[in-house]
A and B are shown apart, each in its own frame.
Chain A
Amino acid sequence: MTDVEETTATLPLARKCPFSPPPEYETLREESPISRVGLPSGQTAWALTRLEDIREMLSSPHFSSDRRNPSFPLLVARPVRSEDDSFRPSLIGMDPPEHSQARRDVVGEFTVKRMKALQPRIQQIVDEHIDALLAGPKPADLVQALSLPVPSLVICELLGVPYADHDFFQSCSSRMLNREVSPEERQTAFEGLRNYLDDLVTKKEANATEDDLLGRQILKQRESGEADHGELVGLAFLLLIAGHETTANMISLGTVTLLENPDQLAKIKADPDKTLAAIEELLRVFTIAESATSRFATADVEIGGTLIRAGEGVIGLSNAGNHDPAGFENPDTFDIERGARHHVAFGFGVHQCLGQNLARLELQIVFDTLFRRVPGIRIAVPVDELPFKHDSTIYGLHALPVTW
């Protein structure tokens, strides 16, 4: 017996081509689809690379999302332990049955119909930003001009967070998501944002209205007699970060990909009904939030013929699953018409992304409006010089210089 466990790779693996998953995923899937891997936290975990295994794991009741548990596999160095436990885990860190109730309390805010009702306001926000882009100097950075402010403004208005504070919370979240910052700096960014939202929720509790999601949740809690300040701060934290970083990066990556694939872009321009299908394909191809599908086993359970023991960490490499030829024919081809709706870019199981339909709507309005109103848009530097976010937990682009 030896203390050193044999691992096949250390995660996270780097993308070699900015538009493709790390090449090792294919080798892993073919040779060892459920394999032991090392993590920067010093932990070892199981990595899953087949679509069906990932779906099975994510829908099994025997895997936990509790990020505070030492068994939870982390793709960054261990955080500095905080003595302050007033910060309750948000949805993403809860398990059923606690999670089921908490999700049910808020999911009515994100139904397909509720999202559609936001369409005119999102269109207005997109139009105003494109007006400003067209009136400004060339080249412009599309990340700062459009990708980041649109979803930030939308989630701020939905939640009831003052957009005037966006520099602060965007800086906190980008430091928290950057894999290269020290655990101390990550902790400082985390505490800064938590304290900000703690104050904001306290203020709202003093004057709660039906005008925004946080106010509505406060009123709902009062009605049920189960006021829980910590849970609301956790919810605000999750929705604010998840609501702007992810969509912002998909807007930038999608714009580059469509510009690099003019035949596919032409199909959308000719028939905007195809935009939603293109968005599904973009979500599949990039799968920008891969570590969201990390769990640990709470019982001995067999997945895809491999026994995973209670307490062992598991990472569903959703980007590998979304390029599994068993799930998607010619997976490395970008084809907006493939019908890729069974991808796991938003996860699968009870934690599947709460804001996915808001993300779809924002992407749809942005792509339709951008390519209609700025038909001559092009990338202002060679694509291989673009600053892709190889250093972030959420993949994307730091900047996107465009001209027209």
Chain B
Amino acid sequence: MKIIADTGKCVGAGQCVLTDPDLFDQNEDDGTVLLLNAEPEGEEAEENARTAVHICPGQALSLA
């Protein structure tokens, strides 16, 4: 699993950071998503990645 983040679509809501702070962070200036780990491993991290994609309000996250 690979997480893809489109910062152009990101609205800085921080929903991904709340879901898994080991995978996601936010740019301090404009709040856009920073991927800390684009390739989550293990059931829990993968499930968190799927949740983050589903709830992302800007639909800036996808999985490949």
Contact = CB atoms under 8 A, between A and B. Distances in A.
- Tell me, yes or no, whether A binds B: yes
B12 interface: yes
Interface stretch (A312-320, A341-349, A386-394): A341-349
B29 A112 contact: no
B26 A111 contact: yes
Contact of A341 (B11, B28, B51): B51
Interface string A209-239: 0000000000000000000000000000000
B51 A103 contact: no
Contacts of B12: 103-104, 107-108, 110-111
Interface stretch (A6-14, A25-33, A350-358, A376-384): A350-358
B55 interface: yes
Nearest to A99: B11
Contact of B31 (A110, A348, A350, A353): A110
B30 interface: yes
B11 A111 contact: no
B63 interface: no
A203 interface: no
B59 interface: yes
A347 B51 CA distance: 17
Contacts of B31: 104, 107-108, 110-111
A199 to B, nearest CB: 29
A151 B53 CA distance: 30
Contacts of B57: 59, 346-350, 352
B40 interface: no
A113 interface: yes
A108 B32 CA distance: 8
A-side binding surface: helix, strand, loop or mixed? helix
Contact of A108 (B25, B30, B55): B30
A63 to B, nearest CB: 14
A112 B15 CA distance: 9
B-side binding surface: helix, strand, loop or mixed? loop
A350 B58 contact: yes
A35 to B, nearest CB: 25
Given A352-B11, A352-B13, A107 B55 contact: no
Given A59-B59, A347-B57, A108 B29 contact: yes
Given A108-B30, A111-B26, A342 B54 contact: yes
Interface in B10-64: 11-15, 17-19, 21, 25-32, 51, 54-55, 57-59
A350 B31 CA distance: 13
B26 to A, nearest CB: 4
Nearest to B52: A341
Contacts of B26: 111-113
Interface in A95-123: 103-105, 107-108, 110-113
Contacts of B29: 108
21 contacts: A59-B59, A103-B12, A104-B30, A104-B32, A105-B30, A108-B30, A108-B31, A112-B14, A112-B18, A112-B26, A113-B17, A341-B15, A346-B57, A347-B57, A350-B57, A352-B13, A352-B57, A352-B58, A353-B13, A356-B13, A357-B18
Q: Top 4 nearest A-B pairs by Cβ distance?
A: A107-B31, A352-B57, A107-B12, A112-B14
Interface of B: 11-15, 17-19, 21, 25-32, 51, 54-55, 57-59
